Amino acid sequence: IGSEDGCRAYAADDSDVLAPNPDVVVLAASAEDVQKTLAIAERQGVPVTPRAAGTGRTGGAVPAAGGIVLATHALAQVKDIDTRERIAVVQPGVVTGVLHALCEKEGLFYPPDPNSLDTCMIGGNVAENAGGPRALKYGVTREYVLGLEVCLMGGKALRVGRRTTKGVTGYDVTALLVGSEGTLGVFTEITLRLVAKPPEIATILALFTDVHACAAAVARALGTGVSPRCIELLDSPTLDAIRAQVSIDPRAGAMLLCEVDGDAKGVETQAMRLGEALSSGDGVVDVVAAQDAAQRARLWAGRRALSSATRKLARHKISEDVVVPRFQVPELLHRVDRIGEENRTRHLTYGHAGDGNLHVNFLWDDEADKARVDRSIDQLMRATIELGGTLSGEHGIGVTKAEFLPLEQPPELIELQRAVKRVFDPKELLNPGKIFPAPGHKAC
């Protein structure tokens, strides 16, 4: 694609990052197309931005330096689902929700479940080390990537990793590539570990007077010894955004959506213990269990629609993704309220409270308010690090968080990572402008 209108469609992702149109878009139809593009680009000194579905939230797929966007969404073949070895071999353009359905037809389960699972693609999930609600029990994408076929700048193709469940040969290059945000190589094939599909699931909805009572209930739930597969928190403004889709008690100012899975007897026992823990504290409005799969689906439909629903609340919205130790979730929520009050910024919070990964959203209508929002984001990042947390749980660093990386990592570690980048990409042409702060930035 070389036309201005055609290229414009590939200049943005699901973040608010503004970037120039790419000079050209290559729609790869094969691994050979990827190799040839990277070989030509290196010879000519042209930057390349890999892209799958473009659902990222930190600007990872925007062409910050122009040049070529290398789109892999047409590489969408599920090559193998091996029920004996419990592995799947897929191309990067396979939609995550499609893979879920295919695996579950075989009695298998691919746990990572980013909320954009109906549109996001495995290649992007691997590049960003995506998570999702079920990460509390099952972990993030990295835990399921056994091997990769990857193309480097210059066109060299490598196979790294394995097809076996165990293996410790040499450096774990596979793990390094997972979460590298398209800065080290472009994936053309991915080998994933699968697990047995849980036979039963129980979903519990718990409503509270406010988000602080909700956070206290999370601590009680985690202290039961039960292993929920997810504990999702929604604060009051978030609840208001989805009330049109889901009937919610008007007394509720916050909500937890929890699930357990396993065999029938185990699920019943876990659900009872979890329900008792959620019901035992102050500020409880109601605790109910979903009665059937249809009701469970309705509850999750509201949760998964949060990004689009909250986007309608204001002209502009930034969704930040931070993680703190689980016992610090109540304190982080207090800090967020204080930041909002000090800067007079609208905000709402939801996310994966069970593993301390919260999405703090700032909303504004007038461009004049952007400076206050920027100040709030800076304070949020600093508060997260002060509480022993990390800047991103599942969205990566990309463009939007690069300036904050020195808050969490010392200069020596950042330089080591830059050196690794240069080994893979000596001319630094692959997805430039991502992860690392520009020299001399204020956060340094």
Which two tokens mark 211? 């988000």
Q: For residues 285, 289, 291 and 293, what is the CA-based torsion angle, rounded to 10 degrees? A: 120
* Residue 190 Cα distances to 122, 148, 166, 371, 375, angstroms: 8, 5, 17, 42, 40
Low-confidence stretches of the chain (pLDDT < 50) are: 441-444
Reduced to 3 states (helix: H, G, I; strand: E, B; else coil), residue 335 is: helix
Interior angle at CA 54, CA 418 and CA 156, nearest 5 = 50
Q: What is the pLDDT of residue 309?
A: 83
Which two tokens mark 275? 């329900």
Q: What is the pLDDT of residue 359?
A: 96
Q: What is the pLDDT of residue 443?
A: 44
Q: What is the pLDDT of residue 440?
A: 53
**Strands, sheet with 78-82, edge to edge from the N-terminal-most edge strand:** 78-82, 87-90, 186-193, 145-151, 157-161
Which stretches of 235-333 are assigned E, i.e. beta strand? 254-262, 284-289, 316-323
Reduced to 3 states (helix: H, G, I; strand: E, B; else coil), residue 32 is: helix
Pairing of strands 186-193, 195-196: unpaired
Q: 329-343 and 211-222 helices cross at what angle (nearest 10)?
A: 160
Burial of 139 (0-12, 13-18, 19+ CB in 10 A): middle
Q: What is the pLDDT of residue 414?
A: 98
